[in-house]
Amino acid sequence: MGAEGVLDNLKVIVIGAGMGGLTAGIALKQAGYQVEVYDRVRELRPAGAGISLWSNGVKVLNRLGLGQAIANIGGQMNRMAYYDMHGELLTGFSLQPLIDTVGQRPYPVARTDLQGMLLNAFGADDVRLNFRCVGVEQDENSVTAIFEDGSTATGDVLVAADGTHSFLRSYVLGETLERQYAGYVNWNGLVSISEDLAPADSWVLYVGEHKRASLMPVGSDQFYFFLDVPLPKGTVSSPDTYQEELFSFFKGWAAPVQTLIQRLDPTKTNRIEIHDVPPLQTLVKGRVALLGDAGHSTTPDLGQGGCQALEDALVLTTYLQTTNLSVEDALQRYEAARKDRVADIVTRARKRSDVTHGKDAAKTQEWYEELKTEDGSNIMGAISRTILAGPLG
Ligand SMILES: Cc1cc2nc3c(=O)[nH]c(=O)nc-3n(C[C@H](O)[C@H](O)[C@H](O)COP(=O)(O)OP(=O)(O)OC[C@H]3O[C@@H](n4cnc5c(N)ncnc54)[C@H](O)[C@@H]3O)c2cc1C
């Protein structure tokens, strides 16, 4: 640590090279800190096919000088539409009022492109692979990550960005929290853009029977698709039968949904049982800060999990840069700034998930009816309030 208590010359150990860990690495490097990122895998491959970076996430990337880079790989999502399962339009509208309200367009993006962009910005050679963190020790001067092979890394701060199954969450909380099943399975992947699926510049969703089918344009002429089906936990499935199962779950649905199931490549389709973790009471312990899904594992129903990881990265770096009492104090300020924000996202996403996926069938039916009278203002109002409540407004 440098003169007069300012937190300069810090060395930061980041565990996890997902979008949270890499964005933290970029922000911390830009702040002038020495950063080492470690991941347990031998080869980095993103989980999932696509992701919607809402404007709050994009604003963080803009702040880090990556605005043009994300614009280059992001899809042009200008409109949004909901259809019922038979293909009747429920509501369709331009997203321009949302963009005007928040000051930045969202970018749906293929996950491999996003990971490539972040790795490029951080420096792929600086990510140390095949290092599984199995322990942490800290005292008043430093913090040390212990890896499976017995090696260690010591620094001033440890960023725990080890994802939804975080082992470091248990270290910070002093207890292990179980992830909770949200009651539905999500298949997702990429397909080539074509007008018989959806307009090339639109996010299109089909809803009915507590299920959803969605198509969203990411860059490189592809749609990111997902199909949601409420199912008991542990339902057996395999890529060989994905299409057969999906044809049966979506029997009688509109032609574009049938075409989507026909065209998807099951060997490149992900199937995930959706879980979350109830909001955490604490995000830090001494010199260790939880970041991304490690600190707030949410259902994807607001499309905000990754965006919150980007917000975390910016806020954590900002407190280390701008306060000068101690690392522990800066981390406490990070926790105070982030705890309610991320708890709100986790809670609201779970509520949204319940309505969408028929936890109470009457409420889901009410939502389907509401969509028929929606002109876009309620949907865009809710999205813009979430965006504007972020650290960059
Ligand atoms: C179906 C689905 C759709 C989603 N859609 C959206 C969306 O539209 N918009 C959005 O913003 N978010 C979305 N999300 C959420 C988003 O994917 C996550 O919030 C985000 O990927 C979390 O990033 P992370 O860096 O925290 O964790 P991860 O990306 O999971 O990275 C964690 C990393 O830590 C490593 N690791 C784990 N344990 C150890 C260890 N012990 N030692 C070393 N390394 C370790 C892992 O190998 C991994 O690389 C979605 C999620 C799902 C499941």
Å from CA of 368 to ligand 1 middle: 31
Average pLDDT, the chain: 97
Residue 279, C-beta contacts closer than 8 angstroms, at least 6 positions apart? 296, 339, 342, 343, 346, 347
Structure tokens at 31: 């702040």
Is the domain covering 3-179+276-388 a CATH 3.50.50.60 domain?
A: yes
pLDDT digits (tens, 9 = 90+) for 338-389: 999 999 999 999 999 999 999 999 999 999 999 999 999 999 999 999 999 9
Closest CA to 372 of 107, 91, 121: 91
β-bridge mates for residue 79, sequence order: 94, 202
- pLDDT beyond 80 at 2: no
Give the tens place of pLDDT for each residue, 302-314: 999 999 999 999 9
Pocket around ligand 1: residues whose beta carbon is below 6 Å from it?
15-21, 38-41, 48, 51-52, 57, 131-133, 161-164, 167, 186, 188, 272, 292-294, 300, 303-307, 309
**What is the C-alpha to C-alpha distance for residues 222 and 288, in angstroms, rounded to an integer?**
39
Q: Give mean pLDDT, residues 164-174.
A: 98
In this predicted structure, the answer to whether residue 276 has a pLDDT above a threshold of 50 is yes
Contact 177, 169 (CB under 8 A): yes
Is the full-model pTM beyond 0.95? yes
116-131: average pLDDT: 97
* Ligand 1 pocket mutation pick from 293, 302, 304, 356 by most atoms within 8 angstroms of CB: 293
What is the per-residue pLDDT for 3?
Answer: 43
